[in-house]
Amino acid sequence: MNLSTEQRHTIDGLYRSLDADDTGTAVSVIVKTRGETCDIDCLYCYEKRKEAPGGARVSADQIRRLASIFKGRKLAVELHGGEPLTAGREHIGEIIAELAGLPQVVRVSLQTNGVLLDADWLDMFDTLCPDLRIGISLDGDAQGNAWRVGYDGKPVYPRVAAALNLLAERGRSVGVIAAVTPAVLDRAEEVLDHLADFGSVNAISFVPCFDSTIRRSTALPSRRKSASRLLQQAAVNAADGPAWAIHPDEYAQFVLAATAHWITAGHFARIKLEPAVSTIRRLRGLTTGFCHFSDLKCDHVFTLYPDGRLGSCDELPWPQARLTQLESTADEHEVVRAQQESLLLNQGKALMDKCTTCDYRTTCGGGCIATRWRQDPANDHDAYCDYRMRMIDGVAALLAQPAQPAGAWCQSLRWRPRTPNSMRDVNAFLTSWDTPNLVGNSQAAHQ
């Protein structure tokens, strides 16, 4: 369904379209350095379920072309995968050097599983781009990482933990993206404490595995299945859908438990926790760069693939998310026209129709279009909205009475938070935890 001009107007404040003539905001570009190619084989990986060119590599020339298309626009670039480090140290060095030399690039980050990360990689980062932000994919403790395995089916947790310890030795701070699966449910405090114990970790983003509609294991180029794919097949064949999938209500309960512990244990003094921080900021009337709570959604997030395809956020269905080819695109105006004509993006906006009359719209921000897409086949839109309202109410209760975290589980009252003296320490950290006008895609998790 295409949105009319009148329908587009109804979601103003929830979804801001990209305006090529208004360059005041940055766009985020997720660079799929080697498509879906990865040195490990996480059972829940969404990237390997897509059509993506494996083996090929995004080049420095493509980075230059990307910058010329968005000339005059700030760019926040994230090297992603698959696993970006499989492109090799020399090649990644060329890309990082190119990005570091582009004035319009205001942030460069790297999302890695950490398995290949060593002192030589860190030496190169320090030389070419000292401000490079590193993100590590790790689902909490060893038990929580049950789904993150090598092709041999064996856990990769010990190698990732070693990388985090090395980062601490080098004085580097990193963010961790942790998928919430049944392996961590009812253990939020334990998992949060475990991640906080790594001296390098200063940010944690808990993201949900809402994969209930997945019914087939990942396709293989050969007939012989690796040990990891046999494990995946068994997990997909579980009675209620993939064994790693959770329900939105379970995710809300986990987030509330983690947020309560983050406050009471004092982790807030060192660690930024999402989605807690974005929820708190919106409750206080502040902005956030996290696209799940911001109006800078899919029109401000792009994905570049090795074959030159430029598409929307990498979590949207592919190949429908394709917008244009890099080499045949003259400027940002062509990209905007492709967005306006995209059936996928217009249908995604239509999924937010009910948000326009929702009492939670100013805090929730409409959520994630890609997640709404995944909930659509399961007819689970109400569950998605319910979890976000539940989470907002619970976090608001924690703000109102932080000394009584049990209030977060009260479902008979609707809390509207004040800022009591007991929360002054938490509030003092909030303003330093956000970067205005930089859209963030911290949901890009199933690395």
At 76, the pLDDT band (50, 70, 90 cuts) reads very high
At 212, the pLDDT band (50, 70, 90 cuts) reads confident
- Summarised one tens digit per residue, pLDDT across range 176-192 is 999 999 999 999 999 99
Q: Tell me the average pLDDT of the chain.
A: 88
pLDDT of residue 445: 39
- Summarised one tens digit per residue, pLDDT across range 89-133 is 999 999 999 999 999 999 999 999 999 999 999 999 999 999 999
**Residue 377 pLDDT exceeds 70:** no
- Summarised one tens digit per residue, pLDDT across range 213-235 is 787 888 776 678 899 999 999 99
In the block, tokens 């040195």 appear at 39
Q: Is the pTM of this model over 0.85?
A: yes
Of 52 and 351, the one with more pLDDT: 351
pLDDT of residue 430: 56
At 395, the pLDDT band (50, 70, 90 cuts) reads very high
- Summarised one tens digit per residue, pLDDT across range 11-20 is 778 999 999 9
